[in-house]
Amino acid sequence: MPRSKKLRLEEETFPREAQKLLTDALYADAGSLVAGAAITAAVAILCWRITGATTPLILACAAAFSATLRIAIARQRRWRRRNWYDVAFTSSALAYLFCSGVLTFWAFGYTNDPFVLTMTLIVSIINSMGIALRSFAVEKVVKLHTAAIIAPVTAAFAFRGGFFYVAAVTQLILAWHIFNSAGRLRKILLSEMSYRRRSDTIATRFRFAIDNMSHGMCMIDSDMRIVVSNAELADSFGLPGARPLQGARFSAIVRLARRRGTIDAGHAEKLLESFGHTLTPDSLARLELPGQNGRVHDLTLKRHDAGGWVLVAQDVTDQRRAREALDVAARFDPMTGLPNRRSFEARLAEALAQASGTDLRTETLFLDLDGFKQINDTLGHKFGDRVLVESARRLREVAHEAYVSRWGGDEFVILRSGGDDAETCRFADSVIRELSRPFWIDGAEVVVGASVGAAICVGGAISMETLLQQADMALYSAKRACRGACRLYQESMSEEAQGRRLLELDLQAALASRSFELHYQPIVDMDSGELVSFEALARWTHPTRGAVSPALFVPVLEDLNLMNSFGAWALQRACEDAAGWPQQVRVGVNVSTRQMDTVVESVRRALAGSGLDPRRLELEITETAALAAGDAVYRTLETLRAQGVRIALDDFGTGYSSLSHLMRLPLDKVKIDKSFTQQLGKSRKADVLVANLARLTSQLGMRVTFEGVETTAQLERARALGVAAEGQGWLFGKPMPASEVRRLFESEQKQAVA
């Protein structure tokens, strides 16, 4: 874009501002007007004295009057904004210049005096050039004023004739030069105005950006003086935000902050030293500056290429607190406040490293709360959480200097350095006693216990992973043998763990290949002796292990979370076998707590696949399972019973026996555990208890089954109670495979035909 066009565009973008500034330029330096008017009047008077003509005297008076008027108007600044002011000022200047031009016209037209001609010409030239210097700002004024003085002079030269025609032409050239010079000056002024306006805009925006930054910022020159800063920077140093920092030495600001207690001596010295470390261009220094009320600022000092520094102060208090909170969450259990597994492993690794090559003992004790799952399931997770919190508090008190951590769930782990095995056992016993004391929560008494497994390493001789595995195996041994006890790790436990692992692999393979089978134990009506049902019992014969007891492999299946698959298979197989029995014979299948989420669907598939009448299927659930599953088991049993499936409460009397179970659960049968049956006739208390329980159950509309009937005496005692009951036990028959059950029914059928 051509420069002239650009200037015109800039004039259009701010016409009012430009007009004001250009017009004000006409009235600047009114004192110079006095000198010009005095010279013009003096020359006119000299012409009058030399020639005696009155014209110069008249022109002198007119020029003096117009100049005086012009000067008076220029000095009356309060009139500037009146509309007639510019017209009057321009007209008076025009009259003054015209008088100067007419004086020259008179001299060249009516006299030949060399002095007069020379002086009048000089005055006209001076006044002509003054136009470019004073009136350049307004193009219209330049044109009028130039014409007012050049026209009479040019006319005088033309009137003189001869070589003066050349002088007339030079006057025209002079007029063009005046006009052109004024235009250049005007363009320079407009360019400067445009530059200043852009600079002011940039400065305003920069100031606005600085003042509205969320961070503190200042620029420091090479003399360590603050050039620009914002209120946030002052706040970072504990100074009032309204306090002006520009021009102050940065070191003085730091000293003031020290006196106010915002910065301590160490950080102040470190901050000032950082300037010496950032002397090369683009060099950078960072440091944290603790302040008042726990606030922390992150300072970044950077050297500028042109010299000086830029300092940015960012308040990182919230970010730092968030990091600390995340760090705490990563290393501590949020519920109990104890270190978590990650923290314990780090502390254990450190302890083993310190003990390496010494005779120091590193003891790891795994601890599991006995009975916690039942509390959690029956009283709710919130109640269980409060038990965990109270257990953690007791562990802190009894552990003293030991490092206590929550491992997960209801498991805790303790790291300590003891003297010998006996001391370790005493410590573990004190922990068990403390946790076995009743808890009082919301006025309710809650009793839990604890089992402890300990592993010991001397001199850091084994790895952290191995030590933890040994402690875990010791805990498993303690829980399996006798809850509420402590077991120290022994080499035999590794063999047992290895054996269990092999058992797990064999069970998984057996389940995949359906190597299990079901045996059926008969249940008879004790009055008529009629066979009424069979209870399905799982059996597993391993190629090398031989017959494996259900008491051994069923808990392992539960630990492996395989009970849903195993239970679904057992239901399907039992229903298929029972479908070939006489219509009046039912089949009973045990259901584990782990199957409650899927048993409805498993039953539906088993019945649909076998075609068995739902009324011939009897699901047996223990009191413990009913209690552990809570409300969920009630809803599940209601759903099954609505489909026609019968529900039996198994092993009644061995779990958390409660009459509320008989009232609340949708039961068809109650099976009294064999431990009561086998005490009939031996204990008066057992006789009374069983008699009343059997009568109550019968009166509630439920059948009674006596488990473990092995002798005729037990049978007679049960019959003597006078209730309709069923019996199950070796007296009536041992569990038999499905093939023998089929032969039994075939034999009965042949006898009936004969």
pLDDT digits (tens, 9 = 90+) for 305-322: 778 888 888 888 888 888
pLDDT at 149 over 80: no
Q: How far is CA 261 from the centre of its chain?
A: 34
pLDDT at 243 over 70: no
Whether 728 is in a domain gets the answer yes
pLDDT of residue 378: 67
pLDDT at 234 over 90: no
Distance, CA of 56 to CA of 74 (rounded, Å): 26
Extract the runs of DSSP E, i.e. beta strands, from 462-581.
486-488, 516-525, 531-542, 546-548
pLDDT of residue 603: 94
Q: Are 732 and 524 within 8 A, CB to CB?
A: yes
Whether 499 is in a domain gets the answer no
Whether 648 is in a domain gets the answer yes
> Residue 210's CB: how many other CB atoms inside 10 A?
18
pLDDT of residue 290: 81
What is the DSSP pairing of strand 296-303 with strand 284-290? antiparallel
pLDDT at 721 over 60: yes
Whether 202 is in a domain gets the answer no
Q: Which of 118-122, 244-248, 528-532 has the lowest mean pLDDT?
A: 244-248
589 vs 32, higher pLDDT = 589
Residue that has been written with the tokens 């014969």 in this structure: 541
Domain that residue 423 falls in: 332-489
Residues 435, 563 within the same domain: no
Q: Show the tokens assigned to 60.
A: 């002198």
Distance, CA of 335 to CA of 262 (rounded, Å): 37
What is the DSSP pairing of strand 703-706 with strand 669-672? parallel
CA nearest neighbour of 19 among 10, 31, 29: 10
pLDDT band at 533 (very low <50, low <70, confident <90, very high): very high
pLDDT band at 503 (very low <50, low <70, confident <90, very high): confident
Residues 33, 172 within the same domain: yes
Residues with Cβ within 8 Å of residue 559, at least 6 apart in sequence: none
Distance, CA of 661 to CA of 682 (rounded, Å): 28
pLDDT of residue 724: 76
R_g (Cα) of the chain, nearest Å: 56
Distance, CA of 432 to CA of 369 (rounded, Å): 9
Distance, CA of 263 to CA of 287 (rounded, Å): 13
Whether 444 is in a domain gets the answer yes
pLDDT band at 24 (very low <50, low <70, confident <90, very high): low
**Average pLDDT over every residue of 242-257:** 80
Whether 272 is in a domain gets the answer yes
304 by DSSP, 3-state: which? coil
Whether 512 is in a domain gets the answer no
pLDDT at 620 over 80: yes
**Average pLDDT over every residue of 485-502:** 83
Instruction: Tell the burial category of 160 from Cβ atoms under 10 Å away from its Cβ (0-12, 13-18, 19+).
Output: middle
CA nearest neighbour of 647 among 662, 616, 669: 669
pLDDT of residue 4: 44
CA nearest neighbour of 421 among 380, 458, 379: 458
Q: Are 411 and 368 within 8 A, CB to CB?
A: yes
Residues 745, 600 within the same domain: yes
Q: Show the tokens assigned to 592.
A: 């584990």
pLDDT of residue 224: 87
What is the DSSP pairing of strand 646-652 with strand 669-672? parallel
Give the count of alpha carbons within 13 A of 305, CB side only.
Answer: 0
Angle (deg, nearest 10), helices 83-110 and 139-160: 10
Choose one of 274, 299, 320: the last residue of a domain. 320
pLDDT at 199 over 80: no
CA nearest neighbour of 450 among 430, 426, 470, 421: 430
Residues 134, 41 within the same domain: yes
Residues with Cβ within 8 Å of residue 163, at least 6 apart in sequence: none
Distance, CA of 288 to CA of 270 (rounded, Å): 10
CATH number of the domain to which 390 belongs: 3.30.70.270
Q: Which residues pair with 249 in a beta bridge?
A: 225
pLDDT of residue 579: 93
Q: Are 683 and 714 within 8 A, CB to CB?
A: no
**Average pLDDT over every residue of 364-373:** 88
Distance, CA of 198 to CA of 280 (rounded, Å): 32
**Average pLDDT over every residue of 617-625:** 83
Q: Show the tokens assigned to 380.
A: 């709710």
**Cα–Cα distances in Å, from 624 out to 387, 449, 629?**
21, 18, 9
Residues 466, 531 within the same domain: no
* DSSP letter assigned to residue 438: P
Residues 188, 221 within the same domain: no
CA nearest neighbour of 364 among 234, 454, 303, 429: 454
**Average pLDDT over every residue of 366-385:** 82
Highest mean pLDDT among 4-13, 438-447, 486-495, 519-528: 519-528
pLDDT at 9 over 50: no
Residue ranges of alpha helices (H) inside 579-611 are 599-610
Average of per-residue pLDDT values in the chain:
82
Choose one of 320, 355, 385: the last residue of a domain. 320
Residues 685, 719 within the same domain: yes
Residues with Cβ within 8 Å of residue 2, at least 6 apart in sequence: none
Q: Show the tokens assigned to 464.
A: 């952290």
Residues 54, 154 within the same domain: yes
Helix (H) or strand (E) holding 198: helix 164-211
**Average pLDDT over every residue of 384-412:** 91
pLDDT at 132 over 60: no
Q: Are 477 and 496 within 8 A, CB to CB?
A: yes
pLDDT digits (tens, 9 = 90+) for 645-686: 999 988 776 655 556 667 778 888 988 888 888 888 788 887
Distance, CA of 129 to CA of 743 (rounded, Å): 142
pLDDT of residue 81: 52
CA dihedral 71, 74, 78, 84 (to 10 degrees): 100
Please name the amino acid found at residue 267.
H
CATH number of the domain to which 585 belongs: 3.20.20.450
> Residue 118's CB: how many other CB atoms inside 10 A?
12
Residues 307, 255 within the same domain: yes
Number of structural domains, the chain?
Answer: 4
Distance, CA of 260 to CA of 239 (rounded, Å): 8
Residue that has been written with the tokens 């004391």 in this structure: 437
Please name the amino acid found at residue 585.
V
For 59-95, give one letter per residue: b (16+ CB within 10 A) or e.
bbebbbbbbbbbbebbeeeeeeeeeebbeebbbbbbb
Whether 286 is in a domain gets the answer yes
pLDDT band at 48 (very low <50, low <70, confident <90, very high): confident
pLDDT digits (tens, 9 = 90+) for 205-222: 777 767 777 788 888 888
Choose one of 287, 320, 353: the last residue of a domain. 320
Residues 409, 266 within the same domain: no
pLDDT at 8 over 50: no
Distance, CA of 589 to CA of 278 (rounded, Å): 83
CA nearest neighbour of 468 among 372, 354, 346, 360: 346
Distance, CA of 364 to CA of 480 (rounded, Å): 19
pLDDT digits (tens, 9 = 90+) for 691-708: 888 888 888 888 999 999
Distance, CA of 729 to CA of 713 (rounded, Å): 13
Residues 290, 141 within the same domain: no
Residue that has been written with the tokens 């025009």 in this structure: 94
152 vs 96, higher pLDDT = 152
Residues with Cβ within 8 Å of residue 537, at least 6 apart in sequence: 518, 519, 520, 521, 550, 590, 735
CATH number of the domain to which 282 belongs: 3.30.450.20
pLDDT of residue 14: 43
CA dihedral 558, 561, 563, 564 (to 10 degrees): 160
Residues 287, 309 within the same domain: yes
113 vs 539, higher pLDDT = 539
